[in-house]
């Protein structure tokens, strides 16, 4: 696909290249290298993290390309830079990337990479990484509504000593966020385990099953040395919560709160995903997480109506 937004005749392009050469000659006459010129053109703050006072002309030209007022956008410029970078080989003394051929290395800082192709790619990957990390924080927060508790017992603060988890406690931990539970097919066992653990704790049988909390891990429910206790967050797991959970609602949640992650997962599993097109999502999947007495009756009634 051409990078040009509109075709240029040979004569028009020749004239534009002459103008460009004049600009480059002016840069050389003012002892400005192209790299520093471009950096100085767009940099927003100085070395002391203070806003640079641009001239009116400078400010107008930068704002015009940033907000897309002109024919060519900043995206066109970056794409042209990356396309040109793929046509140039590494310098013989460029050892900033492993093997001289790798396009991305998680251990390499972006600003330490010399060649433009892996440098731009690394910048894009890390920018995407930060977006996904932000989406993950949003989805795993209690406010997202995807957490449930396996017990009503209070849990100790993080500074309390932890006790080893028993087999019963591991079963209780299985009742973590519904979004994690939905693909394992053992919801009934987890709910039963949570209810048994609940009964054991209320009966004073010495159960050490932990509470479930997001982000901070699982802490012991035993209080040591008079430490304060706090109530665990999220609703208590129940058949009603599981029966109301659906793949469609989880999908909608990801689309709304984690659009970048949703897109990347679709692209990873579907090679036909194209820019500017809505990905096709597999339609055959279970509609509900748990088959309860009510929704089984509804399904049977619907089938009878279809069969006449």
Residue partners of 234: CB distance under 8 A and separation at least 6 = 142, 147, 148, 149, 212, 214
For residue 107, give the nearest of 115, 99, 98 by alpha carbon.
Answer: 98
Confidence band, pLDDT 50/70/90 cuts, at residue 272: confident
CA distance 67 to 175: 48
Residues 192-215, mean pLDDT to the nearest whole number: 40
Q: What percent of the chain has pLDDT over 90?
A: 35
Residues 83-111, mean pLDDT to the nearest whole number: 80
Residues 51-65, mean pLDDT to the nearest whole number: 95
Residue partners of 137: CB distance under 8 A and separation at least 6 = none
Averaged pLDDT of the chain: 74
pLDDT at 6 over 50: yes
For residue 169, give the nearest of 199, 207, 217, 203 by alpha carbon.
Answer: 207
**Predicted local distance difference test score (pLDDT) of residue 206:** 38
- Show the beta-strand stretches assigned E in 107-172: 155-156
**Predicted local distance difference test score (pLDDT) of residue 164:** 46
7-36 burial code (b ≥16 CB/10 A, e <16): eeeeeeeeeeeeeeeeeeeeeeeeeeeeee
**Predicted local distance difference test score (pLDDT) of residue 250:** 85
Confidence band, pLDDT 50/70/90 cuts, at residue 300: low
CA distance 138 to 228: 28
Confidence band, pLDDT 50/70/90 cuts, at residue 40: very high
For residue 290, give the nearest of 210, 169, 197, 192 by alpha carbon.
Answer: 192
DSSP 185: S
pLDDT at 228 over 70: no
**Predicted local distance difference test score (pLDDT) of residue 155:** 54
Residues 112-130, mean pLDDT to the nearest whole number: 92
Residues 55-59, mean pLDDT to the nearest whole number: 95
Confidence band, pLDDT 50/70/90 cuts, at residue 248: confident
> What is the value of pTM for the model shown?
0.62
């Amino acid at each position: 696909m051409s990078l040009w937004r509109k075709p240029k005749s040979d004569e028009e392009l020749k004239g534009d290249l002459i103008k460009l050469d004049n600009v480059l000659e002016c840069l050389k006459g003012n002892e400005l290298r192209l790299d520093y010129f471009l950096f100085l053109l767009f940099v927003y703050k100085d070395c002391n993290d203070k806003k640079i006072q641009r001239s009116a002309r400078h400010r107008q030209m930068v704002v015009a390309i940033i907000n897309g007022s002109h024919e060519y956008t900043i995206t066109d410029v970056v794409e042209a830079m990356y396309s040109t970078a793929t046509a140039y080989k590494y310098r013989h003394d460029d050892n900033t990337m492993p093997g001289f051929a790798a396009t991305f290395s998680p251990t390499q800082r972006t600003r330490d990479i010399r060649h433009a192709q892996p440098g731009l790619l690394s910048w894009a990957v890390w920018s995407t990484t930060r977006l996904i990390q932000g989406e993950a924080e949003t989805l795993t927060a209690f406010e997202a509504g995807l957490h449930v508790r396996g017990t009503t017992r209070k849990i100790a603060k993080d500074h309390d000593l932890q006790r080893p988890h028993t087999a019963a406690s591991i079963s209780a931990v299985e009742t973590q966020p519904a979004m994690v539970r939905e693909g394992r097919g053992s919801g009934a066992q987890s709910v039963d385990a949570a209810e048994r653990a609940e009964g054991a704790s209320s009966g004073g049988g010495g159960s050490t099953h932990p509470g479930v909390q997001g982000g901070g891990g699982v802490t012991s429910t035993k209080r040591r040395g008079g430490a304060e206790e706090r109530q665990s967050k999220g609703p208590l797991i129940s058949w009603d919560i599981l029966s109301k959970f659906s793949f469609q609602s989880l999908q909608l949640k990801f689309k709304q709160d984690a659009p970048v992650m949703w897109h990347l997962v679709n692209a990873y599993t579907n090679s036909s995903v194209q820019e500017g097109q809505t990905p096709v999502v597999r339609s055959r999947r279970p509609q509900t997480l748990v088959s309860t007495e009510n929704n089984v009756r509804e399904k049977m009634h619907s089938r009878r109506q279809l069969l006449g």
